[in-house]
């Protein structure tokens, strides 16, 4: 009797876990685990190029020249740009840490670093950003959620890939150094 109850519980546990599919699409090779974000401003810009016209218009609205990233085939690829805006010195960084498909969601996690209060690195203004160019099929899902390293949701997109088929593979076409 005890044996059959344990076996039933084990089967239920396996079935519950089997319903969740998690696939890592991209993982940065930079260690951002100790990064801290001390800034409370909201200048972080997150742009996903669902179509090339929207992408170019958004990039041209920024205070930095991103022309080298304007051109891509939006039927094959999707670029992602995370831009912190102009910052006073070199102590600011941003990194696209990971992209994970979790069932009907694609979760993009970004890590940001800022200097501790009162610390300055000098060197004048900087424009920290990170950029990835992925195969379009990698991001296709019901929802795309962008979150920071603390799990705070920064932006959410719903059903932007109507009629497109999901695929699960790890391929980065280009990554900003």
Binning the chain into helix, strand and coil, the percentages to the nearest 5 are: 20, 35, 45
Mean pLDDT across 148-170: 78
**What is the pLDDT of the chain when averaged over all its residues?**
84
State what percent of residues in the chain have pLDDT above 90: 55
- Kindly tell me if the per-residue pLDDT of 171 is higher than 50: no
Cα(142)–Cα(161) distance, rounded to whole angstroms?
7
Tens digit of pLDDT for each residue in 115-136? 877 777 777 899 999 999 999 8
Asked if 87 and 129 count as a contact pair (C-beta separation under 8 A), the reply is no
Sequence ranges of the domains in the chain: 21-175
Other CB atoms within 10 Å distance of the CB of residue 22: 10
Query: What's the token pair of residue 85?
Result: 């805006």
Edge-to-edge strand ranges of the sheet holding 77-83: 45-48, 77-83, 129-135, 172-175
173 pLDDT band, cuts 50/70/90, is: very low
């Amino acid at each position: 009797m005890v044996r059959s109850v344990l076996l039933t519980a084990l089967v239920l546990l396996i079935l519950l876990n089997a319903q969740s599919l998690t696939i890592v699409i991209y993982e940065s090779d930079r260690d951002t685990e100790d990064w801290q974000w001390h800034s409370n401003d909201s200048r972080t810009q997150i742009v996903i190029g669902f179509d090339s016209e929207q992408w170019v218009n958004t990039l041209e609205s920024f205070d930095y020249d991103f022309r080298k990233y304007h051109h891509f085939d939006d039927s094959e690829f999707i670029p992602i740009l995370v831009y912190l805006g102009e910052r006073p010195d070199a102590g600011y960084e941003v990194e696209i840490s990971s992209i994970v498909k979790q069932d009907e969601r694609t979760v993009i996690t970004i890590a940001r670093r800022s200097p501790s209060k009162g610390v300055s690195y000098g060197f004048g203004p900087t424009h920290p950003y990170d950029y990835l160019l992925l195969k379009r099929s990698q991001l296709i899902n019901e929802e795309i959620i962008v979150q920071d390293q603390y799990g705070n949701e920064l932006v959410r997109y719903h059903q932007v890939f109507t009629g497109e088929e999901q695929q699960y593979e790890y391929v980065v076409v280009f990554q900003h150094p």
